[in-house]
Structure formats: structure tokens, C-alpha cells
A and B are shown apart, each in its own frame.
Chain A
């Protein structure tokens, strides 16, 4: 087995392990305490659950608590970390051995920071939409599904996916190496948000089968991240079924 593949498999185990732990956290915590208790930490376990269960008229500031943002970050770890195997392998391959872990951590933190900022925007939009649509939010669900489907097929979505494959040259020595890892994490996060925002927004309004839908969305985003870049164009790419089958076979 080549060294690159060994490194990639090691990193794959790490990110899938972190993702699994985050999923366990999201799934198990509500069942321990129950969302109806109103416990802030419980709500934070699944920020979408918070939006679902909290009052439609909740003020924005009530939602943006540390615990809720923590919950959002846990969800990002669960859903998005498996998409980061390629850039993390790239960083590991091109850095001094003693700096690999640190540089990968900086990349992940920068990436999480971008997604946290995106989370604030997405949660705000979601809350706003809840105030526009009335319960049981069927119209909201259909609208968000429509927006997500249109975005999935758009050339802009493909452009964002393509940019996620752009791996920059990274300096190896000194503080500059950490700056480059952070810059890479920020850039990757921005394009990742660009690619996935519609699916994530859709997930915030999926009241029924919320966690299975999140799992399905994670698989879609994972398979998308594994696809070779291609020229942006309108294309029917709702669910990369062939790639999902391939993933299952792997």
C-alpha cells in the first residue's frame, strides 16, 4: 500500500471517528433528557431541533447562545468532517511530521469558524421564514425543498464544488505554515458553505424524520465532495446515486 493511501486511510479513520462521535452526541443526548424539558444544552445537541421546538416567535438573540452555537458546531463535525479527507491528506503529505497534527487542527478550526458564521445566517433565515410561514410549515418545507433542488442543479453549485478541489501551495516553516493552514481552512469553508448552504437550510425545516434526513444529506454532500470537478452548467444532479452506490461498496 502506498504511503499516500496509508495517510489517507489514517485520516479517514480519524474524521469518520469524530463524525460518529458527534452523531452519537446528537442522537443520544435528546433521548437522555428529552427536548420537552426545555434544557438549553439538550436543545443545543441539535440546533435544528431547537428551531423546531422553540417558539416560532423566538427572538434571534435567544437562539444565538453559546450552547446553541456549540450544537451547530457539533452538527458540522457530524455532517461535514467526512468531506475533509482530501484537504487533510494534502496538508499531512506536505508538512513536516511534527507539525502535521497542529496544521490539520488549525485548518479544521478555521473551517469550523466559517461554518459557525454561516450557521448564524442560516439560523436567522430559518427563524425569519418560520415567522412568515405558519405551522405546520408544510409550505415552508416545500419552498425550502424547491430552493435546495434548484441550487443543487445550478452552475454556481458546481463552481463551488470545483473550488473545493483547489489546494494551494503551503509554506512549511514557521508561523507562515499555520497562516497557510488557516487560510486554506477559511477558503475551503467558504466554498463548502457555498456548495451546501441550501441543503443545510432545508435540513433546518425538516421536522419529520429530521435526523434520517440529516444523515441522507451528509451522504449526498460526502459523495459530491468525491466527484471530479467539471465545467459549471445546469445539470440534474440531485442525488449522485452512482457515487452513493460506490460509497456503499467501499
Chain B
């Protein structure tokens, strides 16, 4: 079924010498020339992901307040029925994240290809991907996105003014670390296993309501971090970049190359032998249980309704990725759990044979910092009080790693609320780096009438390695953990981030 190949945007130096990028720009230009209410327009497609144009926004991020380029239209709005059917569909903090975005890319690619062919472009054109974790300069945005003009002198539709980068200076690149693709070492799509921290590679199983849920491991890193790093904040901090906010992000043409890379990583993960969920609930999507269906406009404005099972394998779609077969060969011969067991003193031969493979787990609270924290530019520090009984149970599993699967540990920032997504929190536990969490989606999750009901986000880090290290250093005896949270970007007065509680959880995998 494969007819098209999605190739690396950095081919031919990522400039307009790369024909994929040149024709992408021209196709985007055609779609941008259409009206907001046209289902084939660039603006309509952006609103399918999320929008701030149908509501009552009185300032940024309302689409009326976006500085050009691009000049974003705010009228005419589609009819209420069309709006309700198509707009604001994006799936985050759920196991539908990957299939919904795959269908979204397929629909956009069809629109662009039709526009490109109408201009005399290649019929085999496919959406390129930006592999920001590739070699050499590939961590930089392909230069074609930073040119103000196309080679023929026309305005470049790929150029966006509100794209500020990780240092807010218009220099767009991805910082690695913290961005990585460690999630490719996961072996479970949803849930946890000795090789996979919760909530799994593809995201948590979600029911009727997934507010307050956690991002899947691929969604969390690299997806969320790249969104926030590319978007950044304006130098005067007055606004944030389009990519930093789900209601703006799909207006920026780099969005689709980023998601193409996320889709490619899903394909790589599957090609390495990892399986997607097989339950009807996932395969048939949320519409099967009465929620909104996944629906995209195809060219000529016909509706394409799809479910995860329509797009859950490369054999079911009409494209493949350049280099997929090479990427499918995992370079690491030792699994994450084997490495961990060796760290905990199990010998290498034994670790290779005993690596447990269980999806059965139980989680319980290990400790909390109960007071609400306000995070400003200087960051905050908090003591997490551990329950000694639960901690001792965990210590026993660490001490007997050779006999049973040792516990995992997670640190969760709960009920995190704020007004700006363009930030990253760097978290340290007892002085050791626990990782970075992007706040992509924070603003919408904090709105009382938003999808999360105002509960905010739950942001989680796997701190198993830190607990292991403390255990080995015999420094895990105290009933307190010292947690320091440092924002990556400065925070203006009145824009402080609030954290309702810090929770630490143990997960027993045996």
C-alpha cells in the first residue's frame, strides 16, 4: 500500500534546495489563501487542533492578536454545527494522542498534495519530518523556515514571526538534553513494565474524562518539550510563541514537521517489535463510547471519519519513512531493566536472563509535600515527607533485586496551574537531576471551563534511578526528600505557576 515516502527535512541542507520544503511552502501558501470557514484552509486545519478564535478572547492568545506573519484571519467563522464537528479535536494526555495526530497529518498531507499538484508540483510530494535528534546541525530548525522570502521573491509562508526559540531570541533549535528519545526503549504502549515507566509509550488509557491525566512518554519527551522550546517567549515576554500553545501551535508550519517526526518515532517503535493496544476501546476510539468522533476534512470538503484501528500500522497507510528500516534496528543491546538490575548489584548474566516482563503493577503513595507552592523565576524548594512504612517496603525490594522486580518511583507535580505554557520546569531530587517537564497545555488545563475542568496538569517524572542511587549511597534512610523546582524561563509577577501538591509514588511490579 506504500506509495509515498516522507523524507528528512534536512535533506539538501534544509533549504529551499530541498524540493519537499519548497513545495510545502507553496502548498501552505495556497491553503493560507483560503478563508477561515473553508475546511480546506490552513486556518481551519489549525483550528481542528485547537483555536482561540470562536470564543471571547480579549487579548493574546486570541487569534486577532497574533502579530503577522502570518496574517491570521478571524472571520468568517464556520457554522456552529461545522465548528462543533471539526474544531478543537486535539487529543493530549490520552492513549489516543498518536492515532489522532496520525490521521490529522494524513488529512493535511492530502490537502497540501492536491494544492501542490494544482501548481504543477510533484504528485509524489509527501510531508517531510524534522528529526531534531538527528546528526550534525539537525537540532536547528531547517533554514527554509527562517527565510522571509521564497527563492522567487514571494513571501515565505513558512516564516512565522511568533516563533522565539529556547532562549527567546529567534534562534530556533532544540536542546538535547533535556530532549531525548529514550521512550523508544519502552515496551508497553499503555501502563508500565520493568522497561517502561507509567503511563507508557503512547499514553494512559482514558475514559470519558481525562482531565488531570498524564502525558504518555513519547508525548512528554520529545513532543511537549519541543513544542515549548521552539515556541519560546518574545524577548520582552509580552507574548509566547505559537508552538508553545495547543490553541495556536498548528498555525505554525513547523508544527506539522514536528508531528511528522513524532509519527515517525511511533513507526520506529512499532518496527522494533512493540505492539499497540489491542482492546476494542482503543481500536474503535472514543466515539464508540459516546464521545466525539475523529473527523477530518478531505479535499473537496468531504468528511473522513476514522478510528485508531484505521491508522495503527504502516501497512494501513499509504506512506513510509525514509530510513525506517535502519532506525528499526535498536542499537542498544541491553534493556533499561537489565541496566538497572546490574546497577543494583545483580550480575550481568543473571540480569540478562531474569529481566521480568510483567504489566501487572500496583501503585501507592509514598510521600507528599502537602502545601501549595508558587513557582516564580527563582524556583522553589520543598521537603517531601515519606511514609516510613511504605518507604521500608520499597527499600526491601531494592535490596532483593536479584529475587524480585524492584519497585519504581515517580515524582508527580499535581494540580499544576498557570497562564503560560512556554516554560519548562527542571526538577532536582536531593541535588540530582530528575528531568525536565514542559508545561505545554498548562493554560488550557487551568481554565475552569476547559477540558480539564480547571484541575490543571499532573506532571510526572520517573525518579527510579535517583532512588536507586540514594539507596546505593545509603542515603535513602531519612523520611524526607529534598525537591527543587527551577523554571527554565523567567516568570513575570502575576504569572506564577502554582503546584497543588508534590506526590511521590512507589510502583510495585511483581
Kindly report which residue of chain B lies nearest to residue A85, judged by CB atoms: B207
Tally of A interface residues using CB under 8 Å: 46
In chain A, positions 199-250 with a C-beta closer than 8 Å to chain B are 223, 226-232, 240, 242-247, 249-250
In chain A, positions 148-171 with a C-beta closer than 8 Å to chain B are 158-159, 162-171
When the two chains form the complex, which single residue of B191, B363, B415, B507 contacts A1, counting CB atoms closer than 8 Å? B191
CB-based contact B448/A3 at 8 Å:
no
CB-based contact B453/A163 at 8 Å:
yes
Question: How many pairs of residues, A versus B, come closer than 8 Å at their CB atoms?
Answer: 128
Kindly report which residue of chain B lies nearest to residue A232, judged by CB atoms: B449
CB-based contact A226/B207 at 8 Å:
yes
Given A3-B362, A226-B207, check contact A94 B503 (CB 8 Å): yes
Set of chain A residues within 8 Å of B449, measured between Cβ atoms: 158-159, 162, 229-232
The size bracket of the interface on B is 35 or more
When the two chains form the complex, which single residue of A3, A170, A240, A249 contacts B363, counting CB atoms closer than 8 Å? A3
When the two chains form the complex, which single residue of A2, A90, A249 contacts B192, counting CB atoms closer than 8 Å? A2
Q: Summarize B's interface: helix, strand, loop or mixed.
A: loop
Per-position binary interface string of chain A over residues 1-24, scored 1 when its CB falls under 8 Å from any chain B CB and 0 otherwise: 111111010000000000000000
CB-based contact B370/A166 at 8 Å:
no
How far is it, in angstroms, between the C-alpha of A230 and the C-alpha of B191 when the chains are bound?
28
Given A97-B364, A165-B453, A230-B449, check contact A250 B387 (CB 8 Å): no
Kindly report which residue of chain A lies nearest to residue B389, judged by CB atoms: A98
When the two chains form the complex, which single residue of B204, B211, B288, B372 contacts A169, counting CB atoms closer than 8 Å? B372
Contact of A176 with B by CB under 8 A: yes
Given A3-B361, A250-B289, check contact A165 B501 (CB 8 Å): no
CB-based contact B199/A173 at 8 Å:
no
How far is it, in angstroms, between the C-alpha of A170 and the C-alpha of B365 when the chains are bound?
12
Distance to closest chain B CB from A194 (angstroms): 14
When the two chains form the complex, which single residue of B191, B365, B500 contacts A168, counting CB atoms closer than 8 Å? B500
Set of chain B residues within 8 Å of A176, measured between Cβ atoms: 370
CB-based contact B209/A2 at 8 Å:
no
Contact of B224 with A by CB under 8 A: no
When the two chains form the complex, which single residue of B192, B385, B501 contacts A170, counting CB atoms closer than 8 Å? B501
Per-position binary interface string of chain B over residues 373-389, scored 1 when its CB falls under 8 Å from any chain A CB and 0 otherwise: 00000000000010100
Distance to closest chain A CB from B370 (angstroms): 4
CB-based contact A2/B415 at 8 Å:
no
Contact of B390 with A by CB under 8 A: yes
How far is it, in angstroms, between the C-alpha of A48 and the C-alpha of B370 when the chains are bound?
43
Distance to closest chain A CB from B275 (angstroms): 15
Given A96-B390, A97-B364, A165-B209, check contact A247 B451 (CB 8 Å): no
Set of chain A residues within 8 Å of B385, measured between Cβ atoms: 173
CB-based contact B453/A2 at 8 Å:
no
CB-based contact B288/A94 at 8 Å:
no
How far is it, in angstroms, between the C-alpha of A94 and the C-alpha of B500 when the chains are bound?
12
Most chain B CB inside 10 Å of its own CB: which residue of A171, A228, A232? A228
When the two chains form the complex, which single residue of B55, B363, B501 contacts A171, counting CB atoms closer than 8 Å? B501
Kindly report which residue of chain B lies nearest to residue A162, judged by CB atoms: B449
Contact of A86 with B by CB under 8 A: yes
Per-position binary interface string of chain A over residues 78-113, scored 1 when its CB falls under 8 Å from any chain B CB and 0 otherwise: 000000001000100111110000000000000000
Contact of A172 with B by CB under 8 A: yes
Set of chain B residues within 8 Å of A244, measured between Cβ atoms: 290
How far is it, in angstroms, between the C-alpha of A169 and the C-alpha of B501 when the chains are bound?
6
Set of chain A residues within 8 Å of B370, measured between Cβ atoms: 171-173, 176
Set of chain B residues within 8 Å of A247, measured between Cβ atoms: 289-290
CB-based contact B390/A94 at 8 Å:
no
In chain B, positions 404-456 with a C-beta closer than 8 Å to chain A are 414-415, 448-455
How far is it, in angstroms, between the C-alpha of A152 and the C-alpha of B507 when the chains are bound?
43
When the two chains form the complex, which single residue of B190, B289, B390, B453 contacts A229, counting CB atoms closer than 8 Å? B453
Per-position binary interface string of chain B over residues 174-216, scored 1 when its CB falls under 8 Å from any chain A CB and 0 otherwise: 0000000000000000111000001110001101110110000
Give me the interface of B with A, judged by CB distance under 8 Å.
Answer: 55, 190-192, 198-200, 204-205, 207-209, 211-212, 288-291, 359, 361-365, 367-368, 370, 372, 385, 387, 390, 414-415, 448-455, 500-501, 503, 507
Between A and B, 18 residue pairs with Cβ closer than 8 Å are A1-B359, A2-B204, A5-B205, A94-B501, A96-B365, A163-B448, A167-B212, A171-B501, A172-B503, A226-B290, A228-B208, A228-B211, A230-B451, A231-B55, A232-B449, A240-B290, A247-B289, A249-B290
